[in-house]
């Protein structure tokens, strides 16, 4: 009986000293550590610009990465909801952080885009960027079997002048010269050019402009590429590339006509 009284007394003392509830650490102000998993990036991406911003729009993080991409990147962000954005292979394209837009500079570039909004209320989170291509390569061959054209240049004009950070095309006319591809086997009557058609949800307004000298005079003419893209129902997001052959068929005064049958026949896409 004496031992029982002592045990009861000890239990009363312990219960009096023990807290009535368990108090957990308040981690509201602690950041969420976001692990960025680059493993799903397409091999074509050699450079990645990465942004993070909170639900209030304030930026949390920005950095440019080059291959090999880190496999241990953890980004601290505020608790709540966070948006991450990645653009691959930006070189001359200009980033406008204030308006979250990308603007083409010297030329349109073949870019890769990803954006995701995710929950960062816990202490950790993981994001895996899976990019989508923005832009489609275009190869233009200018042929003239009747005329020896000189100093020829080819430009392309589109209705997309850049993108929002989320990948939506920014409307605005953008024109830039395509790159001439030298080839030892090229004759004076055949020239090759290459460039990028920026992504746009419609194919109208995509125009190829030819500038060259013939018979001592500067010539200028346009080829409506958008019309053929529309006729062929080409999806610039799905086509691997677009190949166009334009034959200069007749030059009369300042007028230039094209052999459109050859243009249509040689127009192709690779899926």
**Sequence spans of domains, the chain:** 32-132, 135-269
pLDDT tens profile 8-50: 444 443 344 444 444 445 556 799 999 999 999 999 999 999 9
pLDDT tens profile 81-136: 999 999 999 999 999 999 999 999 999 999 999 999 999 999 999 999 999 999 99
Q: How far apart are CA 11 and CA 23, in angstroms?
A: 22
CATH architecture of the region 135-269: Sandwich (2.60)
32-132 classified as CATH 2.60.40.2100: yes
Q: Provide the b/e sequence for 111-137 (b: ≥16 CB within 10 Å).
A: bbbbbeeeebeeeebebebebebbbbb
Question: Does residue 92 contact residue 106 with C-beta atoms inside 8 Å?
Answer: yes
Q: Provide the b/e sequence for 176-202 (b: ≥16 CB within 10 Å).
A: bebeeeeeeeeeeebbbbebbbbbbee
pLDDT tens profile 235-258: 888 888 888 888 877 676 656 665
Question: Of 133, 128, 135, whose CA–CA distance to 50 is shortest?
Answer: 128
Residue with tokens 């249509």: 264
Reported pTM:
0.81
Average pLDDT, the chain: 83
- Counting Cα atoms < 13 Å in the Cβ hemisphere of 54 gives 12
CATH topology of 32-132 equal to that of 135-269? yes
Q: How far apart are CA 136 and CA 179, in angstroms?
A: 15
């Amino acid at each position: 009986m004496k031992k029982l009284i002592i045990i009861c007394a000890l239990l009363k003392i312990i219960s009096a000293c023990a807290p009535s509830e368990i108090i957990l650490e308040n981690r509201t102000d602690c950041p969420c550590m976001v692990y960025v998993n680059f493993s799903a990036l397409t091999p074509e991406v050699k450079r990645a610009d990465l942004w993070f911003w909170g639900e209030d729009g304030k930026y949390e993080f920005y950095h440019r990465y080059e291959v090999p991409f880190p496999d241990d990147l953890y980004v601290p962000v505020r608790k709540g909801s966070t948006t991450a954005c990645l653009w691959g292979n930006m070189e001359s394209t200009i980033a406008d952080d204030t308006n979250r837009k990308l603007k083409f500079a010297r030329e349109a570039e073949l870019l890769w885009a990803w954006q995701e909004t995710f929950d960062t209320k816990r202490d950790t989170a993981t994001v895996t960027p899976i990019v989508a291509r923005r832009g489609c390569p275009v190869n233009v061959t200018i042929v003239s079997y009747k005329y020896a054209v000189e100093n020829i240049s080819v430009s392309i004009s589109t209705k997309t002048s850049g993108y929002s950070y989320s990948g939506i095309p920014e409307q605005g006319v953008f024109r830039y010269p395509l790159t001439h591809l030298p080839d030892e086997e090229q004759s004076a009557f055949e020239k090759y050019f290459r460039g990028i058609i920026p992504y746009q949800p419609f194919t109208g307004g995509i125009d190829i402009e030819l500038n060259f000298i013939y018979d001592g005079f500067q010539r200028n003419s346009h080829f409506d590429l958008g019309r053929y893209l529309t006729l062929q129902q080409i999806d610039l997001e799905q086509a691997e590339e677009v190949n166009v052959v334009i034959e200069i068929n007749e030059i009369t005064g300042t007028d230039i006509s094209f052999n459109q049958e050859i243009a249509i026949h040689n127009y192709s896409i690779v899926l």
